[in-house]
Structure 1
Amino acid sequence: MTNSPKPDQQSPYTNNGGRPRSYDVPTWRKVAYYGGAVLQGVGLVMFFSVFFIGFSAFSGIGTSDTGQDIGRMFRSFPVSLVGFILIGIGQWIRRVGKEGLAGSGVVLSPQGEARDAEPWKRSEGAQDQMRLEEVPTLQTALGGSSKPAGAPAEVVRLRCRSCGYLETEDATFCSQCGQPI
């Protein structure tokens, strides 16, 4: 007797439309995300360069070069504008890298959006699971339980009709033989 489930009892997660399930973010999305961050950094440096030139011009007020420094500050405004545009482009590229082409709205495909959002949804699911695991602890801390803090929680188990294994009450299938409980 094998312990593998029958074909009609397989998990819905075993078939992913004929392609292997990948939980990692693709490399191109990582490159886009971090490349967008670099582009934003370059844009910030370019944008604030005008202010740096202006402050350096006004710090030496008694020198004869002050007028030339102020003129240089006004001539560098196009650099600041290009920096501002690079910040926006970098933010957009980071968004595409984070949410994928369909998730960020570049490609209008609900199926693609669900596929692109899978790594983020899995992470949200893990966070929700952690929150749910903390609920009994919170109830105990708030005085919702009459048991002492060190007492083990009561566990209800059901016996499998096929093999006799004691399974938790929320199980649908026996983890020993795979038969329905």
Structure 2
Amino acid sequence: MNEQNDKNEISSQRKGLYYTGLVLVVIGIMMFMSTFVLSMMNPFGGNPFMNAVIGMIMIMIGNMLMAVGRRGLAGSGIILDPNQAREDLKPYSKQAGGMINDALEEVDVIQNTRDDSQAIKIRCRNCKGLNDENARYCNHCGKEL
């Protein structure tokens, strides 16, 4: 049972890769935005636009690392192996299935259809109304069944 839970959990290496990518994206955004601040502070000297280029590259690399950390190598499409992609995406598939089950449990129609017992009904000869099998009198017209 514990071994199966381990397969459904995201590994610590993938989590680390995801957070490393997130840090790179944040640093890249800061470097990109610093270009505008530096160009306003020093309008006649230097080349602050190199920070923008490096920042954009860091954002792209960070997004790629986040995708690999989130979905694994095969799940993100870097390795073309459908079986491994299913394994990489298994935690998310299980989560989506669990959310669907939770939503279906809230719906009254689904709960009513899950009733395994079958009710036998008896039709009244007088008014043709349906009654429970153990009823002695019709629920609609009151006549004896």
Q: Return the alpha-carbon distance in structure 1 between the equivalents of residues 49 and 116 of structure 2.
A: 72
Q: Tell me the residue number matched to 1:103.
A: 75
Aligned length: 113
Task: Write the mapping of 1:82-121 to structure 2, written as runs, cut at 5 A.
Answer: 82-121=54-93
User: Structure 2 length normalisation: TM-score?
Assistant: 0.70
Q: Return the alpha-carbon distance in structure 2 between the equivalents of residues 24 and 156 of structure 1.
A: 34
- 1:70 is paired with a residue whose SS is coil
Q: Tell me the residue number matched to 1:54.
A: 39
Moved over 4 A (4+): none
Q: CA deviation at 1:157?
A: 4.6
User: 1:31 corresponds to which letter in structure 2?
Assistant: G
Answer yes or no: is 1:131 the counterpart of 2:103: yes
Q: RMSD over aligned Cα, in angstroms?
A: 2.2
Q: Which has the higher contact order (CA 8 A, sep 6+)?
A: 1
User: 2:44 corresponds to which letter in structure 1?
Assistant: G
Q: Tell me the residue number matched to 1:35.
A: 20
Q: Return the alpha-carbon distance in structure 2 between the equivalents of residues 157 and 27 of structure 1.
A: 47
Select which of 23, 28, 43 maps to 1:70. 43
Percent identity, aligned pairs only, is 31
Q: Return the alpha-carbon distance in structure 2 between the equivalents of residues 155 and 107 of structure 1.
A: 46
5+ residue gaps, structure 1: 1-13, 15-19, 58-68, 140-152, 159-181
Q: CA deviation at 1:54?
A: 3.0
User: Structure 1 length normalisation: TM-score?
Assistant: 0.57
Q: CA deviation at 1:155?
A: 4.2
